[in-house]
A and B are shown apart, each in its own frame.
Chain A
């Protein structure tokens, strides 16, 4: 039986990969995928704890966050497409209209 430590370590690793991706990548879609990665890292730790403590609550929360992530992806992708139509690019370093 693999202990919970391994699952949490994997979750932390995925989360950090997600953060680094968000910070260093310039393609909006990749950033978006990194955000999804972070969400799933959290989902993983929720499921781990749920199974570890024999409590169903964590798994229910995962359903919620999956549903919200799906809804968010719809809106986010729509925004990215709209930006692409205007700019012909999804490079976020070009999207800085709100600068000083």
Chain B
């Protein structure tokens, strides 16, 4: 791989070029903005070429091969502190590159159709390219600071894209909210970087991970904890997850990109990258596992009660990310990356599918308006849908495939990755540190698996089964179904590709024991594990094959039970009556879920309001009286002196000359005497 440096540069440069071309020319030329095919082609190529190069890297990098470094130039050099713009190609970063550019490309392709009628078409693609550029910096960086550059970059892009339709105040506010919640986490990450530099004297990954002895045990604890807090911001975990559901304000393809391929996976990537340090801090691992399991459960319960299809998916993402953190905390870094990959396939498919549905619903609204009927409804609300499978067969089939995958039905993608996570959590239950706690977390994981299957099928049945409900909800909308139609090819091709990947993606990580049981060969058939084993520090599985079979059996039974209960309640598309039943059964608990545990209100009351009040009452007064007072006093004294001495400025030339001459005489006489 001697040409690695050149190719790496190209991988980084193409998305940046795409951003610059579409952004700058679009900014200055109105006629360029109209050339939508050209803009879309540029943006898609800017992601597809890096994907092709990533595939080349993948084919040329052997399992267990040493990392390749591509050092471009020195970025910062101050004293003993030196940071390069340098990229590291190893098995982990190549997996992430493939996901980011591969899934990212499909989302770009889909956006051509989805955003066609939008006024900001050029701007949208420019931002999307910038997002990919930032994310590639994040996953390819060979040091923490360059990673942080990408980390902040995706934060900026999410702000720009969530608030893409900025003319609506609510969207702009959602963008700001995502930005602010991420800043909280980023602050912790920054402190973790300072600590790392203090102990090791370098921010390069191979230097830090090679000198872990230089960091004392409590240093590892704090660095690990602070990095994890950073990750809770980006990857939307308790307590910082509330921004992600609001991120639905952006265009659907953005949601897909944020939720599946980019931003939210960065926290998992960071911890996997630093896994050798994390395994030495078991307390942090425990905290990560607990937070992950709780997040998975909390988000899943909220997802059951939501009616906005994109919001259900958003909470589902938060929940699945919780699974990934549960894996990280259980020492199953490969399993976490495995779930990142499979989740990227089926969640991207689900989001793009939901976009296709919303697209169709908006067409119904426009069609009715053209008939002169003044009908208004929320095109994302599944209570108005139902029966869509007849009108949108491609969307329905791919959505169903992805739903089966996420629900954990074998042998689709989500089954293997989720099963591996649960097996490792169970395995950690017999470890030296906090064993029984991990068993409880495994229990939470199992319950969440049931909930996942349940809410995902509730969503699918509610959207696609039964009758089209809009006409019965709004009598004016009668006959609206004739406007329903399948989306264009640029949207269905990515859907089918992702749907296919959701089916086969799981075979990347078939557990080893499946082969071992039948052939008595203890061969490693888990491809992803073989691929990543020299980068991530996995704990070994010590369970017997019988236990593993039992765990897998439980996973299957739970998933099937979830699907079956959802079918019993929602199979006919009766969303609202079944929701009412659930509400009756769970009472106050259901209300809490529906109100999202009131976290937003809690933060508003406990954090935001006191700060605003303190600023209003205290700090503003301090600023006006004390700070301004000091500044004005200094100014006043100067003015006072000026008011005396300005009278010497007579403007009469001869008096100046006299003063000048007297001065000369004075100096001369002093020199002579």
Q: Which of A3-11, A59-67, A90-98 contacts B (4 or more CB under 8 A)?
A: A90-98
B117 on the A face (CB < 8 A): no
Residue of A23, A31, A92, A93 touching B658 (CB-CB under 8 A): A23
Which residue of chain A has its CB nearest to the CB of B653?
A: A92
B216 on the A face (CB < 8 A): no
B647 pairs with A100, CB closer than 8 A: yes
Interface size class of A (residues with CB under 8 A): 10 to 19
A52 on the B face (CB < 8 A): no
Q: What chain A residues lie within 8 Å of B654 (beta carbons)?
A: 22-24, 26, 92
A99 on the B face (CB < 8 A): yes
Which residue of chain B has its CB nearest to the CB of A26?
A: B654
A19 on the B face (CB < 8 A): yes
B657 pairs with A22, CB closer than 8 A: yes
A-side interface mostly:
loop
Interface 0/1 of B639-665, CB less than 8 Å to A = 000000011011111100110010000
Q: What chain A residues lie within 8 Å of B647 (beta carbons)?
A: 100
Interface 0/1 of A21-35, CB less than 8 Å to B = 011101000010000
Q: What chain A residues lie within 8 Å of B657 (beta carbons)?
A: 22-23
Closest beta carbon of chain B to A50's beta carbon, Å: 22
Knowing A100-B646, A100-B647 touch, does A93 contact B652 (C-beta < 8 A)? Answer: yes
Closest beta carbon of chain A to B408's beta carbon, Å: 86
Inter-chain CA distance A22–B661, complex, in Å, is 10
Q: What chain A residues lie within 8 Å of B646 (beta carbons)?
A: 100
Interface 0/1 of A75-100, CB less than 8 Å to B = 00000000000000000110111111
Q: What chain A residues lie within 8 Å of B661 (beta carbons)?
A: 19, 23
B-side interface mostly:
helix
B651 pairs with A96, CB closer than 8 A: yes
Interface size class of B (residues with CB under 8 A): 10 to 19
Closest beta carbon of chain A to B652's beta carbon, Å: 6
Closest beta carbon of chain A to B303's beta carbon, Å: 76
Q: What chain B residues lie within 8 Å of A96 (beta carbons)?
A: 650-652
Residue of A22, A26, A31, A99 touching B651 (CB-CB under 8 A): A99
Which residue of chain B has its CB nearest to the CB of A100?
A: B646
Inter-chain CA distance A24–B646, complex, in Å, is 23
B651 pairs with A98, CB closer than 8 A: yes
Which residue of chain A has its CB nearest to the CB of B661?
A: A19
| Chain B, range 614-660, C-beta contacts under 8 Å to A | 646-647, 649-654, 657-658
Interface 0/1 of B393-427, CB less than 8 Å to A = 00000000000000000000000000000000000
Closest beta carbon of chain A to B182's beta carbon, Å: 57
Closest beta carbon of chain A to B155's beta carbon, Å: 55
Inter-chain CA distance A52–B455, complex, in Å, is 114
Closest beta carbon of chain B to A51's beta carbon, Å: 25
Closest beta carbon of chain B to A12's beta carbon, Å: 13
Closest beta carbon of chain B to A34's beta carbon, Å: 10
Closest beta carbon of chain A to B637's beta carbon, Å: 19
Inter-chain CA distance A20–B661, complex, in Å, is 10
Which residue of chain A has its CB nearest to the CB of B642?
A: A100
With most chain B CB atoms within 10 A of its CB, the pick from A31, A96, A99, A100 is A100
B650 pairs with A95, CB closer than 8 A: no
Q: What chain B residues lie within 8 Å of A100 (beta carbons)?
A: 646-647, 649-651
Closest beta carbon of chain B to A84's beta carbon, Å: 15
Inter-chain CA distance A26–B657, complex, in Å, is 12
With most chain A CB atoms within 10 A of its CB, the pick from B646, B649, B653, B657 is B653
Q: What chain A residues lie within 8 Å of B651 (beta carbons)?
A: 95-100
Q: What chain B residues lie within 8 Å of A22 (beta carbons)?
A: 654, 657
Q: What chain B residues lie within 8 Å of A31 (beta carbons)?
A: 653
A99 pairs with B653, CB closer than 8 A: no
Q: What chain B residues lie within 8 Å of A98 (beta carbons)?
A: 649, 651
Closest beta carbon of chain A to B383's beta carbon, Å: 79
Inter-chain CA distance A99–B646, complex, in Å, is 9
A99 pairs with B658, CB closer than 8 A: no
Inter-chain CA distance A95–B650, complex, in Å, is 11
Inter-chain CA distance A96–B653, complex, in Å, is 8
Q: What chain B residues lie within 8 Å of A93 (beta carbons)?
A: 652
Inter-chain CA distance A42–B143, complex, in Å, is 73
Interface 0/1 of B530-564, CB less than 8 Å to A = 00000000000000000000000000000000000
Inter-chain CA distance A99–B657, complex, in Å, is 15
Q: What chain A residues lie within 8 Å of B658 (beta carbons)?
A: 23
Which residue of chain B has its CB nearest to the CB of A97?
A: B651
Inter-chain CA distance A99–B650, complex, in Å, is 5
Closest beta carbon of chain B to A79's beta carbon, Å: 13
Closest beta carbon of chain A to B135's beta carbon, Å: 62
A95 pairs with B649, CB closer than 8 A: no
Inter-chain CA distance A31–B646, complex, in Å, is 26
Q: What chain B residues lie within 8 Å of A99 (beta carbons)?
A: 649-651
Closest beta carbon of chain A to B646's beta carbon, Å: 4
Closest beta carbon of chain A to B653's beta carbon, Å: 5
Closest beta carbon of chain A to B662's beta carbon, Å: 10
Inter-chain CA distance A87–B651, complex, in Å, is 16
Q: State the 3 A-B residue pairs at the shortest beta-carbon distance, nearest first.
A: A96-B651, A99-B651, A100-B646
5 contacts between A and B (CB under 8 A): A23-B657, A26-B654, A92-B653, A96-B651, A97-B651
Given A93-B652, A96-B650, A99-B651, 17 additional A-B pairs, CB 8 A: A19-B661, A22-B654, A22-B657, A23-B654, A23-B657, A23-B661, A26-B654, A92-B652, A92-B653, A92-B654, A95-B651, A95-B653, A96-B651, A97-B651, A99-B649, A100-B646, A100-B650
